[in-house]
Chain A
Amino acid sequence: MEFTRKNNNRQLLSRIATNDGHGENSPYFDGWKAYDSNPFHLTQNPDGVIQMGLAENQLCFDLIKKWVLQNPEASICTAEGVDRFKDIAIFQDYHGLQEFREAVAKFMGRVGGNRVTFDPNRIVMSGGATGANETVMFCLADPGDAFLVPSPYYAGFARDLRWRTGLEIIPVHCKSSNNFRITRQALEEAYEKAQRLNKNVKGVIIANPSNPLGTVLDRDTMRSLVTFINDKKIHLVCDEIYAATVFSSPRFMSIAEIIQDMDCDKDLVHIVYSLSKDMGFPGFRVGIVYSFNDAVVNCARKMSSFGLVSSQTQFLLASMLSDEEFVENFLRQSSKRLAKRHRVFTKGLEQVGISCLKSNAGLFFWMDMRPLLKEQTFEGETELWRVIINEVKLNVSPGLSFNCCEPGWFRVCFANMDDETVEVALDRIRKFVLQGTENAAGAGNKCKRRQKNNLCLSISSSRLYEEGLMSPAHMISPHSPIPQSPLVRART
């Protein structure tokens, strides 16, 4: 009776509600689950899983805290700011606060090296970059249309670009042989293939700097992209969410800068931005759609009703981002700290013979674990990944979850932990690589000593997974805002 009732009701839901388009049933999230049930804590749970699958920027909160304390008038709730409470609390205009748009436009310009100015009237709000990407798709394409996406790409694109929009993603596979650069040839091939399959390609979407690669696009590649989309009369969407995480040369170039000196149809070019990575504010849900196409600006603005930025947050950030001295210092410090953290990890890994794709941006590095694969297949990658999660106790993200076409690559985040945790993580990796795997107590797993970098991976993965799962209800996450609650963490 119960089953019939649930089944009947299930048929009354939409396909979107009951399909897998949200992407969360992917094994990618097993790593998260392992972390959630056994989160590392330096003193309280030193054997727990270290979270290295979450691209967060936690390196500069001291600077922000200091600014918040020194600027109580930026909050509409303090004695200094409460005079603005009513006006801000009522403000639901989807144009957004003028001062907010101006501050964001200025910030984007500064992040782009002041080589281009952004027009505050083209700044449209959205529910994070998640909302921005979906909204842009709704504006540019119809159900059944397709977008080309160079791989490896952010796992969340599968949901953001496709789930409710009905669009298709056609990956443009990039290879390690040329450091995963996007080539004109690869684009043409993907486009032609789509044509043969009768897919209507509406555009290309890229992330620059790249997630998961951590690299910036060079000028030639960007110009080539612009020429490509211009020739085909399709759109180019540039997700620049990691723009201010560039910590060494070459510098970041916004697509806005590139098209300034190019003869192209600007109505085809759109930017997605957010403060979640550059400033480290994913909780504040600040996403931005910036388009050179007036009709897209107007449409996206109307759609922003579905995900406006809280006016309380707009007000705070308008004040913060207008503080030029603060912004200068923040960007400078952030780069320095990211560079240092990146160096510590990459050097540490080099010492044990693990190389990473040369990168200069992002909150992660793209680690090459191909030498450690039992076999150069995705099954081999998945096996290695389960070992890393359950034995080494690091939640890293396997390349397959980014749609990488070659097995053996892993994205490892480095900016979401303190220095002590970095040491522990590095130590674990070193031990893992140098000594090979050990049996967990009572597991009955076999392990053979092999030469240098070969590891025994003939371990039942389901058994490993069980061992990784503990449910200590008393476990307290160091990052939970509510100290007594069980860990709650985002799934993206």
Chain B
Amino acid sequence: MARSISMEAAGLTLAFLILILTISAASSTNQIQILNAERRIDLSSHIVKVFLTLKVENVMTAPASEIVLAFPPAQADHLALVKAQAAIGKKKKKSYVHLDVNPTELPDAPNGTKYFSISLLNPLSSGETATLEVLYILTHSLKPFPAEISQSESQLVYFRDSALILSPYHVKQQTTFLKTPSTKVESFTRVEPTKFAGRELKYGPYEDRPPYSFSPVTVHLENNSPFAVVEELLREVEISHWGNIQITEHYKLVHAGARHKGVFSRVEYQSRPSFSGTSSFKHLLASLPPRVHSVYYRDDIGNISSSHLRSDYRKSELEIEPRYPLFGGWKATFVIGYGLPLEDFLFESPDGKRYLNFSFGCPLAETVVDKLTIKVVLPEGSKDPSAAVPFPVEQHLETKYSYLDVVGRTVLVLEKKNVVPEHITPFQVYYTFKPIFMLAEPLMLASKGLMMQLSSDGSGSHDPLPGQPSMLSLNSSACPCSPN
């Protein structure tokens, strides 16, 4: 027995050693070469989406299990998301498999280049090729120039990138396509062959470029899409086992495009909407879950009367209008709040824990969130909260005092920077809860004397946010925690 175990251990160590060797071999960049790279950059909104299709080949003998993507440091700072998938099968039966992408370091990174490594499903053996599709999203990458425009001007922005794909590998053939929002392009750097037709600017094809080839290009183009950036978004999800989930979202919205300069003329804005204030926006669309109820839209000084809610069984759409149109640099803060039926979002896991299944990200369409904070306020008496989020987020715990609380509610706080609409994916918060605690609030209400005694020791800092609706008027008919 003992011997076999030691044998096994030795085998494992060997396998591990081999693995390490493979990785180091993979990171030695001349193992892989890119046969064909096609990059499509979508500049039609202020969120830059880049679709990268790579055809890679293992030219060395050792199998390669990961492919490394390289980003210049300026781009890496604005990188919101990197996703990769591999195409499997032939043309007709093509299917895509999601691949893991993780930030990594390479020893000889020139000029602070940042790397992401894509782990392949099956290591690429010698001579084998694979096709990878990568999507990465850049925020704050369109720099308005001129930085200040007047009401009648349209917004021009710079986009800077390289005509050649930055890669640690040798690239045999590559092409880059830029999709512009309009045909109006002021100027662009020429790196022959370069072609501009319609709304597409084409760089390439370029043949046989060595690793880390770089050729900076600048495109100066018109982009009047709304540069809606939420500087801070605080989403508070308050769970009540009496049948309701209350969401309160605090927005700090800013128009991050070219700053508005000089006069704002209402008469021009009203009478010539197509020429005046083209880069400004006055509507925003928030997509909310179906069966949403008691929706409100307000700010520090009261209700904002300009919003419309359309809802059907699949989704609800809330169209909101800030109090004034947003021009470049103008800000608006507001609060959206709504209630949701508990049974749509709260479930019981097989191990007896309850979990909330809710969507991450910002409900507003086409917006970037610089800093997103999600606070999941669990019912009083909940224990052991843990979150399962598909991407890295910062987490910590807080305590909040709301209606009729004695010991306070556990709040799980999730924070993430640079959030784009692609981050709208479900996440789960698991916690344990004894049903007896459900009686806490009615008991509190009933026995006020007792409550006063108890609450005197718990009257610490408590700061519920404004406009919070009462938890007492909730529908108690819905069965809590029933999987739907």
Partners in one complex: no
Q: Hey, which bits of chain B sit against chain A, CB under 8 A?
A: none
